[in-house]
Amino acid sequence: MKYVSTRGGIESLEFQDAVMMGLADDGGLIVPEDIPDVSDRLADWADLDYPDLAFEIIRLFAADIPGDDLRDLIARSYVDVFDSGTDVAPISSVGDLFVMELWHGPTMSFKDVALQLLGNVFEYILAQRSGKLNILAATSGDTGSAAICGVRGRRGINIFVMHPSGRVSPIQERQMTSVLDDNVHNIAIDGSFDDCQRIMKELACDLEFKQTCSLGVVNSVNWARVLAQMVYYFQGAFKLQRLTGSDTIRVCVPTGNFGNILAGWYAMQMGAPISRLVLATNENDILSRFFNSGVYSLGDVHQTLAPAMDIQVASNFERYLYHRVAGDPDRLRSLMEQFAQTGRLEIECESTGTVDSSIEAGSANTDDILEAIRCCYESQGYLIDPHTACGYSVVGALTPVGAAAAGGAEASEPTLCIATAHPAKFPRAIEQAIGQDLARHPAIDALADLPTRCEAIANDPKAVENFIIKTIS
């Protein structure tokens, strides 16, 4: 398997080089040259546990890592790391829906699934090459703590995590800033997540700075992040096939940066038994508007109860757009340049009137989120975080009331909702919704009295660059 850039400006890469490059040197995103069809392997994979299934899928894309080494990396990432054991992504039945709980990792976020593996892969590659790495990350909340957890204390690695000051939940901020390892550096940027992401991309595209400082990225612009997340879509589909007897399922994914749902889209292209994806956004609805109209246009960033989705410019959208224009880098560059200049691009819809018949899309506002949390708890006794509540709300809006009783198409296929974080990470939203302080977890409670460390830096790439240079020198 080789890798290229969406913008066509780099030579093809092996997997390890793609991981270390992170953001493509031409400013594009790295994608596989081919997407393998695994339809004929599904029966053999259906009963594998999570580490074994991860090995079968990831080895197709990481051919330059010997099999025994890859098995070891996967085992160190998942075995005895998640509180659910080797069942990394357990599923709960919640009324008419099924919920995949991706919050059983060390920081209680779905980001752990990918970043535990990426941390081990970074360390493996650096050991092979006797190298060093300075990671620059932008986070809207959960990526930061999961990335820090994945690389804290690792030899040869420093990590610099930018978060928008005052725009992540207090617990998300404390999860990051209470880690005092010498190789961990938290930065509060006076701006939005989009500002943090813009700074990260600008510095990663400064090739002299990138090479001089051995700069790497852990955001989902790094292909390894998306690859690792593809695994739980296969396993979720296999589990629901066994539970329901259905041939295919649909999956609802709350999304901000388009990385999580893109992993599901790639899994579908490979042949996973998934018929549709349901894309759910909050008031920052640039993605849901696009999939319903073909128009991708900037709006204002709104602060919401689901801060990890408070994003307008979704990095991974470029990967999807690349495939949507049949892998034509010239067309892709033209569209991205148009968006950079005008804040708008448009592509033709299908005959259905939507961009992609395999992707339904909707959005949920603050009242919808609170109602979803309240409804789920009162009717099912099940707590969901505000991001998961976006998905819960959108699924309810897209599936007509009474569909199950009528036996409609929507009811004949089970729906899997992706739960992205433990509700204890968002206690204020939970208490606002149900009037009780029920969102608790011992690991979260333990953060309250820990010392913290964070550097406040201006919303300026040069200021961040200077901080990195000063720190590593």
Q: List the catalytic residue out of 2, 111, 132, 462.
A: 111
> Is residue 239 annotated as part of the catalytic site, yes or no?
no
Please, what is the angle between helix 223-244 and helix 50-58, to 10°? 130
Q: What pLDDT, on a 0 to 100 scale, did the predictor assign at position 400?
A: 53
User: In angstroms, rounded to a whole number, what is the distance separating the alpha carbons of residues 431 and 438?
Assistant: 7
Give the start-to-end residue ranges of the domains of the chain: 91-106+224-441
Query: Which residue has tokens 């200049």?
Result: 341
The yes or no reply on domain 91-106+224-441 and CATH 3.40.50.1100 is yes
Please write down the long-range contacts of 206-210, taking CB distance under 8 Å and 24 or more positions apart: 206/465, 207/25, 209/465, 210/25
Compute the distance between CA of residue 269 and CA of residue 85 in angstroms, rounded to an integer: 29
pLDDT score recorded for residue 351 = 80
- Residue 142 confidence (pLDDT): 83
Which residues lie closer than 8 Å to 462 by C-beta, 6 or more apart?
Answer: none
Q: Sort 171 into a burial class: Cβ within 10 Å, 0-12 / 13-18 / 19+.
A: buried
CA distances from 66 to 131, 262, 284, 287 (A): 20, 27, 42, 38
Cα→Cα distances 62→81, 227, 323, Å? 22, 10, 21
CB proximity list for 227: less than 8 A, separation 6 or greater: 57, 58, 61, 62, 263
pTM of whole model > 0.85?
Answer: yes
What is d(CA 386, CA 307) in angstroms, rounded to the nearest whole number?
9
pLDDT in single tens digits along all 473 residues of the chain: 999 999 999 999 999 999 999 999 999 999 999 999 999 999 999 999 999 999 999 999 999 999 999 999 999 999 999 998 889 999 999 999 999 999 999 999 999 999 999 999 999 999 999 889 999 999 987 889 999 999 999 989 999 999 999 998 899 899 999 999 999 999 999 999 999 999 999 999 999 999 999 999 998 899 999 999 999 999 999 999 999 999 999 999 999 999 999 999 999 999 999 999 999 999 999 999 999 999 999 988 899 999 889 998 998 999 999 999 999 999 999 999 999 999 999 999 888 778 999 999 999 999 999 999 999 999 999 999 999 999 999 999 987 543 443 344 445 799 999 999 999 999 999 999 999 999 899 999 999 889 999 999 999 999 999 999 999 98
